[in-house]
Amino acid sequence: MSALHVSFEFFPPKTDKMQETLWSTVEKLAPLGPDFVSVTYGAGGSTRARTHETVARIIRETALPVAAHLTCVAATREEVDAVVKEYWVAGVKHIVALRGDPPGGPGDPYEPHPGGYANAAELAAGARKIAPFEITVGCYPEKHPDSPSLAADIDHLKRKIDAGATRAVTQFFYDNTVYLRYLEAVRKAGVTIPIVPGLMPVTNFAGLRKMADVCGATLPGRLVKLFQNLDADPQTRDLISATVAAEQCLDLAEEGVDHFHFYTLNRDKLAYALCHMLGVRPKPTAAVSAA
């Protein structure tokens, strides 16, 4: 197996306790030398300050390359540009540029802010006008629910690439053939940037089912069966979740996937174990530096 690349996604913590959990996760995962770690941005900018603080702390206290997520929701271009400039000044060189979901949640029709960026392609172009950011965007192996067809969705991905995106991370999926078919379709359409699979561990299955419904992501029947009647048995569920994730990662690696993006939910154990299984081991030089 050739050297694999990994990246880890975190969300900005709300409480001191959650802050501690995130930080011990960062300390555990940092020595694995991820290509980057990213910090999400809450709906409508609700985590603006916390995303910024989290990103700034990672820059201050580690040597990890960090990407800040940013969305277009409920903000004028000037407001979004101000956040972009703050990021650049804080030392953030990489943005995950996203449109974001409607304030009522995914599933509601999306209305761009009248004075704002209409979508992720416009946001990527706007950010690149401000500074030479590295830009990652989202992509959808089962097409985005707002898109009339997979072909239209891939056209939109191409607009994001024309606007400066050099990597796309996928929405979560649990059937690898869905990802592999999508990869074939985007390559056929002339897309050459890395399409990195975004891997989400199964935690609360009822919650996942709801999220999958609104995101237009399919949960395979096999998965539904595996997690049946386990909502009150987190121990068994976690063991099965680890097995499912391991099978998924190892199969993707066999298919030639060489970069894995983990939606960590700020937890280290499963992401660390999966990296170990993939042959990604601690690199002493990548450890968290002393603050």
Determine which residue in the list 94, 128, 156, 237 makes contact with ligand FAD, applying CB under 6 A: 156
* Tokens encoding 271: 């992401």
Determine which residue in the list 153, 202, 257, 271 makes contact with ligand FAD, applying CB under 6 A: 153
C-alpha span between 288 and 290 (Å, rounded): 7
DSSP state of 106: B
Could you tell me how many residues of this chain bind ligand FAD (CB under 6 A)?
25
Q: Write down the least CB distance from residue 10 to ligand FAD, Å.
A: 10
Active site annotation includes 9: yes
Which of the ranges 58-66, 76-84, 95-103, 277-285 carries the binding residues for ligand FAD, by CB under 6 A?
95-103
Residue 50 touching ligand FAD (CB under 6 A) = no
Which of the ranges 37-45, 76-84, 87-95, 206-214 carries the binding residues for ligand FAD, by CB under 6 A?
37-45
* Residue 258 CB partners (closer than 8 Å, separation 6+): 2, 3, 4, 5
Dihedral (CA of 212, 11, 34, 138) sign: positive
Main-chain dihedrals φ then ψ at residue 259, nearest 5 degrees? -140, 130
* Tokens encoding 190: 């002339």
Contact 70, 123 (CB under 8 A): yes
Determine which residue in the list 32, 169, 208, 252 makes contact with ligand FAD, applying CB under 6 A: 169
Residue 92 touching ligand FAD (CB under 6 A) = no
Q: Write down the least CB distance from residue 71 to ligand FAD, Å.
A: 5
Residue 101 touching ligand FAD (CB under 6 A) = yes
Residue 74 touching ligand FAD (CB under 6 A) = no
Q: Write down the least CB distance from residue 172 to ligand FAD, Å.
A: 8
Catalytic option among 9, 53, 111, 142:
9
Beta strands in the chain (DSSP E): 5-10, 36-39, 66-70, 94-97, 134-139, 165-170, 195-196, 198-199, 259-263
**Three-state SS for 191?**
coil
By annotation, the residues acting in catalysis are 9
For ligand FAD, the binding residues (CB under 6 A) are: 40-41, 43, 69, 71, 96, 98-101, 106, 119-121, 138, 140, 144, 146-147, 152-153, 156, 169, 171, 198
